[in-house]
């Protein structure tokens, strides 16, 4: 392995605070990445995303391959210029779509052929093609192409999927164009089977990547199983490389994963919840569609400094959702991303002070206060 762009600045148990250096700016960890699948965080301008405190955002190879096309993104100056986002961008390679669009793809040893969910046209994705597309997109962090193993899967099925992903990882590494400050992450697979996770990690370490993602979780196995897999596998990853748990998750998921040594996260939950009227707050999850908020002149979350909380009352936010005004989802998306950012910033500070466990306990205790009973789980 070459020198690492990542440094750990503090530890509290297994929890880590660190800094990842990139060509587009440094990233303080632990960090949550807002999802901008199609080169936009839904309902947000680039300025509003910046105002949430986001350091890095995620875009998606498969969706941008379909439209507008990687060549067109490159002609428009790459994602950073096209999106007005000069900061770091991580691009998912399309491995999740191999699982989620199973009815629209044909998988083989060399790669995968998709039938576009938009118009049925055929599109081929191989490890080499996925790396080239991400190069054209000008991704700061490029993800190796993998097959995201579905849940449930037998151990034999998970092993076959993992071995395919490891072959693709080697090809992805070979095809990656190394540039100063640009990084490539490999993805650990193996389903819920600790021995497969160990073998996958060993294969990826033999190839050598700038960071390591933990894939194939948060796909239906439940939090307890996810945490048990993390317990068995995070410690196998090198201490001097960033660790990224893909597609996770709820605030409680983040607290638990950071405590187990994970550094980076992404998920659609805060933005999707914002579009459907659900707010993550310091007192739990609130549903702004509920009639109980109609005449409430209080702040959505007194502990938050976003525009939804400092400039508007709950009653107004309720009104926006009841009348289906687009401002409601915009404000609540902003709030949820700000909440996630504040949660990560608080965790980072707590780790540096040696108080990570106490911080997480206090956050969880506040969730079960008087308002938390209203918050149903977010159905993703």
Q: Where are the domains of the chain?
A: 30-267, 273-374
Contact status, residue 322 vs residue 289, Cβ threshold 8 Å: yes
- Token pair for 97: 């779509």
Q: Phi/psi zone of residue 19: left (φ > 0), alpha (ψ -120 to 50 degrees), beta?
A: beta
The predicted structure's pLDDT at residue 3: 78
Is the pLDDT reported for residue 192 higher than 60? Answer: yes
Of the chain, the percentage scoring pLDDT greater than 70 comes to 96
Under 8 Å between Cβ of 29 and 61: no
Helix 194-207 to helix 155-175 angle (10° resolution) is: 10
pLDDT digits (tens, 9 = 90+) for 197-238: 999 999 999 999 999 999 999 999 999 999 999 999 999 999
Model pLDDT for residues 309-359, shown as the tens digit of each residue = 999 999 999 999 999 999 999 999 999 999 999 999 999 999 999 999 999
- Segment 146-165 shows an average pLDDT of 97
Angle between helices 356-367 and 327-353 (to 10 degrees): 150
DSSP 35: B
Average pLDDT for 26-54 = 98
Looking at domain 30-267, its CATH superfamily turns out to be Queuine tRNA-ribosyltransferase-like (3.20.20.105)
| Residue 256, SS3 per DSSP | helix
Give percent above pLDDT 90 in the chain: 95
pLDDT score at 372: 46
Catalytic residue chosen out of the listed positions 92, 138, 210, 263: 92
Tokens of residue 346, six digits: 């608080």
Query: What does the alpha-carbon distance between residue 91 and residue 89 come to, in Å, rounded to a whole number?
Result: 7
Confidence class of residue 370 from pLDDT cuts 50, 70 and 90?
low
- pLDDT of 368 reads 85
DSSP character at residue 101: T
**pLDDT band at residue 369 using 50, 70 and 90 as cut-offs:** low
- To the query of whether residue 266 is one of the catalytic residues in this protein, the response is yes
Q: Rounded to whole angstroms, how far apart are CA atoms 147 and 117? A: 19
Q: What is the mean pLDDT of the chain?
A: 95
Q: Which residues are CB-neighbours of 367 under 8 A, at least 6 positions away?
A: 251, 252, 283, 284, 375
What single string gives the DSSP state of each residue in 284-327? EEEETTSGGGTT--SBS-TT--SHHHHS-BHHHHHHHHHTT-TH
Strands 15-20 vs 183-188: parallel, antiparallel or unpaired: unpaired
Q: Is the peptide bond before 68 cis (omega within 30 degrees of 0)?
A: yes
- Give how far Cα 307 sits from Cα of 284, 310, 311, 333, 335, Å: 19, 5, 5, 11, 8
Residue 374: pLDDT band (50, 70, 90) is low
| Whole-number pLDDT of residue 347 | 98
Residue in 97, 93, 135 with CA at minimum distance from that of residue 114: 97
Tokens 């993390």 — which residue?
Answer: 230
- Active-site residue, selected from the candidate residues 138, 263, 266, 301: 266
């Amino acid at each position: 392995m070459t020198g690492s762009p990542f440094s750990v600045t503090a530890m509290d148990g297994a929890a880590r605070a660190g800094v990842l250096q990139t060509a587009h700016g440094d990233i303080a960890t632990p960090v949550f990445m807002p999802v901008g699948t199609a080169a936009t965080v839904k309902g947000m301008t680039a300025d509003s995303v910046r105002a949430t405190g986001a350091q890095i955002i995620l875009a998606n190879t498969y969706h941008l391959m379909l439209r507008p096309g990687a060549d067109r993104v490159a002609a428009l100056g790459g994602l950073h210029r096209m999106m007005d986002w000069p900061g770091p961008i991580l691009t998912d390679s399309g491995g999740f779509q191999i699982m989620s669009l199973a009815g629209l793809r044909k998988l083989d040893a060399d790669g995968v052929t998709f039938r576009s969910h938009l118009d049925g046209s055929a599109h081929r994705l191989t490890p080499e093609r996925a790396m080239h597309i991400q190069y054209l997109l000008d991704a700061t962090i490029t993800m190796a192409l993998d097959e995201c193993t579905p849940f449930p899967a037998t151990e034999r099925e998970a092993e076959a999927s993992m071995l395919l992903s490891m072959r693709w990882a080697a090809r992805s590494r070979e095809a990656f164009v190394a540039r100063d400050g640009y990084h490539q992450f490999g993805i650990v697979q193996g389903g819920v089977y600790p021995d497969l996770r160990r073998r996958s990690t060993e294969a990826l370490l033999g190839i050598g990547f700038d960071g390591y993602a933990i894939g194939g979780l948060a796909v239906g196995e439940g939090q307890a199983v996810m945490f048990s897999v993390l317990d068995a596998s995070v410690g196998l990853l090198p201490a001097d490389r960033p660790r990224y748990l893909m597609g996770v998750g709820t605030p409680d998921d983040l607290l638990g994963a950071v405590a187990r040594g994970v550094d980076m996260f992404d998920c659609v939950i805060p933005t999707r919840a914002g579009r459907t009227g659900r707010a993550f707050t310091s007192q739990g999850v609130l549903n702004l569609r509920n009639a109980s908020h109609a005449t409430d002149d209080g702040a959505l979350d007194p502990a938050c400094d976003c525009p939804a909380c400092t400039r508007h009352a709950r009653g107004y936010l309720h009104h926006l959702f009841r009348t289906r005004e687009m401002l409601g989802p915009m404000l609540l998306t902003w709030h949820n991303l700000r909440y996630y950012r504040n949660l990560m910033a608080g965790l980072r500070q707590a780790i540096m002070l040696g108080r990570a466990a106490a911080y997480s306990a206090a956050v969880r205790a506040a969730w079960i206060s008087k308002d938390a009973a209203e918050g149903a789980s977010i159905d993703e």
